[in-house]
Amino acid sequence: MSPLRPLDQSAKLRDVLYEIRGRALVEADRLEAEGHTILKLNTGNPAVFGFEAPFQIVRDMIEAVPHAHGYSDSRGIMSARRAVVYRYEQDAAFPPFEPDDVYLGNGVSELITMTMQSLLDDGDEVLIPAPDYPLWTAMTSLGGGTPVHYVCDEQNGWQPDLDDIRSKVTPRTKAIVVINPNNPTGAVYTREILEGIAEIAREHSLLLLADEIYDRIVFDDAVHIPMASVAPDLLCLTFNGLSKTYRVAGYRSGWLVITGPKSHAAGFLEGITLLASTRLCPNVPAQHAVQAALSGVQSIDALIAPSGRLHEQRDAAWEALEAIPGVTCVKPAGALYAFPRLDPEVHEIHDDARLVYDFLVAEHVLLVQGTGFNWATPDHLRIVTLPESRVLTEAIERLGNFLSSYRQ
């Protein structure tokens, strides 16, 4: 028998990275298999930190299971799409749209992938924030496009730098990605910034891609303003779902809403419909969770209130990080993460992935390095703020103790 021909991964994956589940996670899983307890602060997975799914959502999905075994419409079941329409009708500033402008997906991740596959030709550019949620960069590359990262300014509360965005628009630019509230920084963007981004999109006829999965997880006096509401005259795709606000990440239930003028984008939108059809349909039982989630009691409100668990955990993480010498952190205004900075004058880190790995081995706590979010310098970390306050405080104190003697 002749030797088998080597099979390597596709060249399309060369620039596709997802360090949230990278090398350090492999080591964390190995340590767990040996019997060690690992505190995994790498993914925003509410279920593993004791957040229960709202019972109305679970009940409706269970009741639907006996008749949810067939394919649905490729866009999703009508009751769920109407519930999404109703959700946004409560915001008078959000542009009107119809159920046929809603696509349900197996999580937002699938919808992002479908969008990029439909939108991009080789060499097309997409403006993406730095730091970013790395799936946007990965799916831009996988779709044949070129991710171009615009800077979010840490000195200005991680707000996007409008001048930097404008300087990076070229004739190949097709879209601007806006992640608000932001993962990994926790920033919530001001109306002035959002209107500035919309104006750049108008000047250059760019598609707006608004990742708003954390839109109802905001703290203190922060207010989330939908991107579509400041750009009703532009084509805007808004991505959202049940994973975070409703704590059912494993249900993989997300949606895409299309607003604004569409006649100039008929081919692109037909492409999304084509890709929605090729995957046949989203997970049907999980679609039945959408109406219950969006029309029922919004239990997230109690969690983000000043006495709520998510609010208290955000405070505990931020205070503990600020107490570490040589570490500063912009206080997160939303989402479920903190993105602290390690002062290079105090902590001389050349390889933040190695720092994360070494900290995991020493202290059995798993974080994610800042460069995993396409931040250019190895001086940041992302920490999930979902564990109880005492657990977060202890984990961050361990980080401080580790940093005090760590050298690369």
Contacts 24+ apart (CB under 8 A), 116-120: 116/140, 116/142, 116/143, 116/145, 117/142, 117/143, 117/271, 117/275, 118/268, 118/269, 118/271, 118/272, 118/274, 118/275, 119/143, 119/145, 119/174, 119/175, 119/207, 119/268, 119/271, 120/144, 120/145, 120/174
Digit-coded pLDDT (tens) for 277-333: 999 988 888 898 999 899 878 999 999 999 999 999 999 999 999 999 999 999 999
Distance of CA 382 to the CA centre of its chain: 13
Sketch out the chain's domains with CATH numbers: 11-51+302-405 (3.90.1150.10), 55-295 (3.40.640.10)
Contacts 24+ apart (CB under 8 A), 366-370: 366/24, 366/25, 366/28, 366/38, 366/39, 366/40, 366/41, 366/42, 367/41, 367/42, 367/399, 368/19, 368/20, 368/22, 368/24, 368/42, 368/184, 369/19, 370/131, 370/184, 370/339
Give me the pLDDT at residue 275, please: 94
Give me the pLDDT at residue 21, please: 63
**Does the structure show a pLDDT above 90 at 23?**
no
Digit-coded pLDDT (tens) for 135-183: 999 999 999 999 999 999 999 999 999 999 999 999 999 999 999 999 9
Global confidence as pTM = 0.93
Digit-coded pLDDT (tens) for 354-396: 999 999 999 999 999 999 999 999 999 999 999 999 999 999 9
**Does the structure show a pLDDT above 90 at 72?**
no
